[in-house]
Amino acid sequence: MRALFPLVLVDQELGHVWKPRLHEIATAVHDVVSAETSFLSHSLAHGYHFELGKLEALDLAGSSITLAPVSGPDGKPVLPRREISYGRLVLALGSDANDFGTPGVREHCHFLNSTADAERIRQRLLALLMRVARGVQDDVSIAIVGGGATGIELAAEIYHSLDSVRTLEPQIRPEQMNLTVLEAGQRVLGASPPEQSEYATGTLLARGIRLMTGSRVRRADAAGLHLDDGQTVAADLVVWAAGVRGPALLSSLLGLPLSSTGRVLVDGHLQCVHCPGVFALGDCAQWTDPRTGQPAPYTAQVASAQARYLAALLARGNPGGPNIPPFRFASKGSVVSLGEDGAVGNLTTRFGQDSKGALIQGLSAKWVYGLLLRRHEVAVHGWGRAAARLLVEKLQRTYQPRIKLH
């Protein structure tokens, strides 16, 4: 379907990977190439223009943005600094990892916020496993800070990745693999219903994954993590998944109203407060739900709903006009992957004004989780191409190893 209005997409990367898939790339379960959508080919198929570049400056008065110069891998210039005028501007800049000012985190921990982050984790994980397989070191210790959805999904995928590596390197013994999840709250998946947390906890413990709840990290160093209670968690690889905040870039864009967590403040129509014609969505935007008085959660579900709302709003041609209903969000629940063996979730059903949550677990929950990925691909590519991608993925599993070693 071609755009009904002139549309330019700006991104510093040449392709897009659905963020919930990053943990699969980080654990070598999935490769970047097959998971990525090329902006150039997608723009050609859907009738918009793609411009490669990183946002450098925003001129609210002149309604323009400035893109930083682009250099190649050799450091030589590819594209100069450019200026693009806009009639309407939508900021969808995502988020940065939030280290809460904890000393040593930036220097010694990995993050999982981009494709490059996932690749770095994958390379480090495979290097450690190779060292153990060849007897260079006795064991591998991995620590994940943060027991939310990202941390739990990553832990589950690492477990299955280690299990798969042992089929390729049978000399690695299970007791040589140590995996710990640290959570500052009293339970993992603290934002989910207790029964969802309990199921995830039982599943991870049954796999030999160590869970440390009520554990706050005081500092990180090359040896591992130091906790507030004096304990030390040794780790060869630490992944920080304890939260996100608005991208640091926003603080350099003069004139934008920001929250205490560095996100753009938006009104009921997702328009930046006091900035007509500028909108924001997803992790970089703070929209307050009028029903709860609290900011909406920063999840793919919310971002997707905001994208659909803004697409319809901007297509009307008069986003600031009267009688346009404000954005509203009704959660459909959540599903957290627990690796190949299943998932756990809570689906929300509604009857009139009443809503009810239903716990799903195991393979049925995994089926729902997979359906969410396919729904995203249908939204991005359409039914035909989404079906083709699914078929290619299934065929690849018949001849490719479970772990992508390169």
Q: Give the tens place of pLDDT for each residue, 326-350.
A: 999 988 888 899 887 788 888 875 4
Determine the Cα–Cα distance for residues 29 and 21; give it in Å rounded to an integer: 10
Determine the Cα–Cα distance for residues 159 and 171; give it in Å rounded to an integer: 17
Q: State the pLDDT at residue 188.
A: 96
SS (H, E, C) 303-323: HHHHHHHHHHHHHCCCCCCCC
Q: Give the tens place of pLDDT for each residue, 134-155.
A: 999 999 999 999 999 999 999 9
Q: Which of 117-131, 345-359, 364-378 has the lowest mean pLDDT?
A: 345-359
**Contact 199/361 with Cβ under 8 angstroms?**
yes
Which 3 state secondary structure label does DSSP give 405? coil
Task: Kindly report the backbone phi and psi dihedral angles of residue 87, in degrees, each rounded to the nearest multiple of 5, phi listed first.
Answer: -95, -40
**Contact 7/50 with Cβ under 8 angstroms?**
no
C-alpha distances out from residue 294 to 78, 94, 284, 320, Å: 44, 20, 16, 24
Total length of the chain: 406
The β-bridge partners of 288 are 295
Q: 96-125 burial, b for 16+ CB within 10 Å, e for fewer?
A: bbbbeebebbeebbbbbbbbebbbebbebb
Sign of the torsion formed by the C-alpha atoms of 191, 192, 195 and 197: negative
**Contact 279/324 with Cβ under 8 angstroms?**
no
Does the pLDDT value for residue 321 go beyond 60? Answer: no
Q: Which of 187-196, 212-221, 303-312, 320-329 has the lowest mean pLDDT?
A: 320-329
Does the pLDDT value for residue 98 go beyond 80? Answer: yes
Q: State the pLDDT at residue 2.
A: 40
Domains in the chain: ranges and CATH: 8-96+247-315 (3.50.50.60), 97-244 (3.50.50.100), 333-399 (no CATH)
**Contact 234/224 with Cβ under 8 angstroms?**
yes
Angle at alpha carbon of residue 326, lines to 345 and 17, rounded to 5°: 45
The whole-number average pLDDT for the span 191-211 is: 93
Cα end-to-end span (Å), the chain: 36
Pull the structure tokens for residue 358.
């239903």
Residues with Cβ within 8 Å of residue 293, at least 6 apart in sequence: none
**Contact 269/319 with Cβ under 8 angstroms?**
yes
Strand 244-245 to strand 96-97: parallel, antiparallel, or no bridges (unpaired)?
antiparallel
CB burial of residue 7 (10 Å; 0-12, 13-18, 19+): middle
Highest mean pLDDT, choosing among 227-236, 246-255, 336-345, 370-379: 227-236
Does the pLDDT value for residue 3 go beyond 50? Answer: no
**Residue for token digits 């998946």?**
189
The whole-number average pLDDT for the span 2-17 is: 81
Q: Which band of pLDDT confidence, cut at 50, 70 and 90, is reported for residue 362?
A: confident
**Ordered strands of the 110-111 beta sheet:** 110-111, 237-240, 140-145, 177-183, 210-213
Q: Which of 15-24, 53-62, 216-225, 321-330 has the lowest mean pLDDT?
A: 321-330
**Contact 227/220 with Cβ under 8 angstroms?**
no
In 232-352, where does DSSP find H-type helix?
A: 300-315
Does the pLDDT value for residue 258 go beyond 90? Answer: yes
